[in-house]
Structures are given as structure tokens and as C-alpha cells.
Structure 1
Amino acid sequence: MASQLPFQEAIDFFAGKVNLPTKRYDDLRHAAHVRGFSVAGVTRLDMVADFRTAMDKAVREGTGLNEFKKSFDEIVDRTGWKFNARGKTDLERRSWRALIIYKTNMRTSYMAGRYKQLTDPDVLKYRPYWRYKHSGALHPRALHLSWHGLVLLATDPAWNYMFPPNGWGCGCDVEALSERQLKALGKNGPDQAPDLTPYEREDPRTGQMEIRIPGIDRGWEYNVGKEWLNGIVPTELHQPLAPLDPSSKPDPDLPPLPKPKPARKDDLLPPGLEPQSYVNAFLNAFQMDDDGGYYRDVSGGIITIGRSMFEARTPEGQVLGLKAVKRGRGTYALLLAEAIKDPDEIWVDWVAVKSGVALRRAYLKRVLLPDGRALFVRFEWSSKGWTAVTGFDTDDAYMANFRKGALLFRRA
């Protein structure tokens, strides 16, 4: 199939991904899949890296599904990974799961590369129309089949959603047409775009509202190529995550952080409250109680929110108390919540811990306090729990030390 043919744009797209462990397929959504490489159910970083190596070879060299299946079997046999899959026999289950991983990554990489090619200004000038091409699947999705042959201007907003792939296993494609080719089809202009009116449904895991589009599978309501080129991370900052290097230095060419947003007086809690009061205020910002729950951030990734984030523990896991008031942090509990909900940037990086190396997720936000001081908030979430860092009157040189690893989100 066409996605087996490697080309530079697809290689560039896949090369910019960051390895991210996930428990479920919807731990990441939309833009998060553009920046993150994951295999649902793979929580060990070494296994994610193994699958990444196998997929990287497929994207770069076009080695094909059979070669990837061999790598899949080797990883499963070596690690004993228990995966979810369809099939009555072990062979059927392995084949089904390997195909899902392979086809999803190949199709998204291929179509991201196609989008970059088709939106080249010289190509758009000569071929300003795009025609939807159904894959010819034996069991087609009704709407995908109805879109076959549909011709729209390349600039039509419908492509923000219906540029393939539009679901699991979707093999649809897009063909660019010139004015002469359009007329050869018996058309004097583009067709009318289909009804893609968005509607809202609750994210079944978080309860947050999410956008759905008719005819497009949940989680696929985006244009992978457009998100890659014009999404939440500038293309020049699409760097994969390098191995842990304690001596690494911040990138001197990073653009400055967005200007601080002013804090309201209501964003600051009074000092001297009980630690649980600050925890409650933080959790209430997410409409949660001590039991917590899942929260999907602006990058499309899921994190766990709960009281445990504020608990001080012994190495054996025994709870010693709450650290919500440590270093006077309680006053800024609501601002810590805002750092997650409306960050300036989100980074992932390696951090050395007693048990080895953990992947850390950092939310950076600068806030201008009512008294004129600038407050820097850094919220970190890792397998070891919660850490928050606050500082006053920070300058760009100081801030640069915290902007390391791989960038997952940047506020426009």
C-alpha cells in the first residue's frame, strides 16, 4: 500500500515524536499524537523505545508489515507483555495488534507528509482543489464512501476535520487537482462541503466536554498534517526527547516565554489556612474532591489529579502528611491549578530519582501578581508524585534552566 513508501516528509513527521508511556489508547488525543509516540498499554519506557525503533525503521526504510510483525513478536516474547487484541488464537491476536500499531503510525505519518506536500505554495497554485478518495475497503464507513470523489478547494475548512485518516484503519486519501482536471471531471467549480457540524460529548474518562464530528471516529477529529505544521508546538521546536544527560544546557535559541498574565486578587488564598483547605481549593478548580480523577490538559494528554499529589510519603509509601503549605505554597494553590489548566508551556524531560530515571511533565506559567511582582510557577508530575516550584522576579536566564527536554505545548 502507498503508506509503505517512505518519503522525507513522513520521515520528518515521525522523527519529531516524543516517546510517551500510556495505559490506554485515549491517554493522548489529537495534538498529543502529533508530538507523542505511544503504544496503548505500554507503560515501560524501554518497551516504548523498542516499538519506536521498529516503527522508525518501517517509516524510514519502508520495510513493511511482515518485518514489523517480527519485531513485535520479539518484543512480546522478550518482555512478556500482556496486550489487548482481537482473535481466538495467540497468532491472530498478535497479528491484529501488530497491524493496528503499524497501520496507525504509517498512515498518520504518510498523510502528514502528504499534507505538507499538497500545501506547498507552488503545488497549491497549480492544483488548488483536493478530491477525497475512498480506500475501497470491503466494509466501508458509509460517510467515507459518500465522500468519495468529492472535490473541495484545498482551503475549505472541511479539511480541518475530514483530511484522512478519519478513523482506525481508515485508508482514505486525497488527490490534488488542477483547474483543467476539475473540468475534465465535468465540474465547473468545487462541490458543496458535507455537513460536518461539530457536536459535544463528554470525555468518558474525564467528564470534560470534547468535540465530535459526524463520520469521524472519536479521537480522529483533527487534521494530522495541519496540526503538525501549524499546531500547538512550532515546527522548529519539534525535537524528540534526548537521553538523560545531567550536563545538558538549555537551548540558547529558545523563543522567550509568552508575557505573564495578570493574576486576580481572588487567585491568591489567605495565609495560615489548614493544609487541607489549600488542597480543597486546588481540587475544586478541577471540580474534584479528595478522590480526584483524570484531567486532559491543553496538549491532549491525560494526568491524574487528586489529594495524593500533595501527600508527603516515606520511601515505603507511608503517608506522613500534606505538603500543601511547604515554603508558603498554599497561598498560590489556585495559581498552581491554573498552571495546569492554562500553561504557557508544557515540557517533558528525564529526572533522576532514587529508583532510577522517571519521565517528568512540567507545566510552566508566569503570573503578574497584584503588587507588581512576577510569580513563576512550575508544576511537575512524574511517577514519584507531585512537585511545585515557585519563585519571584525571575528573569529569562533563570527561566531558561527550566525549559529543557521536549516541548509538548506552547501558548500562542
Structure 2
Amino acid sequence: MKLAVVGGGSTYTPELIDGFARLRDTLPIEELVLVDPAADRLELVGGLARRIFAKQGHPGRIVTTSDVDAGVADADAVLLQLRVGGQAARKEDETWPLECGCVGQETTGAGGLAKALRTVPVVLDIAERVRRTNPNAWIIDFTNPVGIVTRALLQAGHKAVGLCNVAIGFQRKFARLLDVAPGEVHLDHVGLNHLTWETGVRLGGPGGEDILPKLLAEHGDAVAADLRMPRAIVDRLGVVPSYYLRYFYQHDAVVDELRTKPSRAAEVAQMERELLKMYGDPTLDEKPELLAKRGGAFYSEAAVDLAASLLGNGGSPYQVVNTVNNGTLPFLPDDAVIEVQATVDGTGAKPLAVPKLDPLYAGLVANVTGYEDLALQAALHGGRDRVFKALLAHPLVGQYAYAEQLTDSLIAHNREHLAWA
């Protein structure tokens, strides 16, 4: 089995490597190719990756290359984890929206749109290269904004499934609170990428007892603290929102907070410098503790599970993925991409049935889906007017004057990445 990781020079890649090494019985990789244009980073990450495999006795071969075509050739699955523009672009995404009082964040709002515009054309180019070299390969997208990027891939006819670590993170945290094995916890997880709610927590599978009320009653403070939201919000809703919902439920408070502290991009950039220095140590043969602060917890386990299922090598019976709606949420278009529990096998992901969604959540999901449709059109075809319409449609912007100002700022800060600008 051959896997390729595009964006393999990421400082987060050792977490993925550690998962591949630990879970080699689930996903028996013979060759792993790390693909990245940043040759200096790639060499450091690749060296540590080989030492991690060696220490854990993994027999697979790790190859590094800056050549996308060579890297993805004959791959059974290709994982996408790239960041167009790097942390410098992320820092801008988190900064300029604050000038008009809007949230600055890399995956939602104006910053999220900027990331989508930079990313979608690059991802589609990579996917076409994959299709030319191996049309049967699966593409697993971890590149944000996952929902929009996955929708772009699916609409272009690629074999793609989107992946996010929010659900598996909740599963692991709830399992610890309940003192049960993670595999015993099944989430009624519904929404869009970074716009989801856990409407039920069941033991044993989809038909198991819903213990969410008990979980909140006994561990509500811990859950709310993890979300960085007041417990009153969680108690009032009676569900567990994704921590990204704080940008919607506490927008103005979050803007005030973001204006008074360093950006997350600045923190991550400093962390990356320290990590790369560590990776250059030839005696280091395990992921360093600092990597846990980098973000993306449990991504490696979710990626192994998904790849194993898509490639017919087992995997969990139910997984939370980003895939085509196809009637699952009847108030959305069939070609919308949703994030829900699904069964996954060699034919792809099939969403489980979802109970009728409360209007409190369905309304926001419908609104953001409309934005995502407009965002994808802007990413595919460009043009100031398309950018403006996407921003006007986003519930975190939604005002004419803000949309006008943010459109100009977005284009000014991303001109080098926008072919049409």
C-alpha cells in the first residue's frame, strides 16, 4: 500500500507519522511519500519521520519529494494537508477583518473566505495530477476550509472525502469523562465543517442509550471550559456545539479578545521555529511534547481509520466525515457537503440518517451553506463581485458597508495568490 501526503513538510506531520507507526496493523503502509515544495522543511520532517518508523519497528519506506506528480503516482490514497501562503497568510486572515469589527479567523468569516480563495485552485490542480497518475486513488482532504475544499473536489468528479478532527476530539474527551473506551462512544454529530453540534452521545453505537443529558449534568463545567464558552450556553442549548460556534454565539466578545492578544498565527509560527529546530536533532526519534500544542489532536487516528475503510482494510464501522448531502439534510441542496456520522467503505462515505434538525441549528446551517456555495463560485471563477456577494451572505459579516471594506482588504492582502486580481 502506498500513501502520499501533500503538505508533508508541515511541522504537524510527525503526529501523522506516529499514528501510522502505532496503527500499522490497521493501515499496513509499504511506502509513504511526503510531498512539499519547501525542501528544507521537508528534509527535517522526513528525517524525523524515518526515525519514528525505525524506533517503532515499522517496515515501511518513507520517501520525500518536491515533485507532486512523482509523489502521488501509483498512490492508493493521497492526504491533503497544505497551507497556501503559510503562517504569514494565516496571520493576515486573523488580522485585517478585525479592522471593521469582524472576527479574524482562518476558517470562517472573511479570513476563511480568503483561505478558500487561495486554496481551492491549488487543491484542484493537485487533484487533477492525482487523477492523471492514478484515477482510482482516494483523496482525503484535511485542508481547511474542509467543507468548501471537499465540495470543490466532489463537484470536479474526484474520489474525495473530507476529514476534521473536531468529532474525534469530542469522542476522546467524552470517553475520558465517562471512563469508557473511545470506541464505545458514538456521537450524533451534525452540521457543516466547523459548524456542528453533538445532539446526542450514545454508548455502543447509533442505537445506544443517549447519555448526553447525564454527561452535561455531571461534567458540564468541564465541557464548557473546553469550548471556551459559559456553561449557561451549553445548558440552554442542551447540546454540545463545536468550539467554532463561539465565533457566532459570542462574536463581539471574541472580537474584543482577538484585538488584545497576539494572533494564533504568531503563536504557531514561533512554535514551528522551535519544532523545526528539534526535528533537526538526529537523536530525536519520537514526536516532541510541544507538538501537542500545535493543534489537530487525534488527526492521525482519524486519518488512519478513514484511509483503512476507503482502502478496504477494516476501520471503524462509523466515522464522522465531510461528504455529499444527497438528501440527508432535506433543507439543503443534494450537492452540499455536510459533516455527519457515516459508514465508510471502498465505495465512499454514506451518511447515516439524521433526525429533523431543530430550526435553531438548521437556519444557521442553511445560511452558511449558501455562503459556501457563493465562496466556491468566487474561488473557481474569481471576480470582486463574487467575493463581495460571498461576504455579504456570511452571517459573521452580513452588512453592505462591511462587505465592501472586507472585499477590498481581502483582495489587497491576497493579490499574489489570486490569478484574477
What interval of TM-score do these two structures reach, taking the shorter chain for normalisation? under 0.3
Q: Which has the higher helix share?
A: 2
Based on CA coordinates, which of the two structures has the bigger radius of gyration?
1
Structure of higher RCO (CA pairs closer than 8 Å, 6+ residues apart): 2
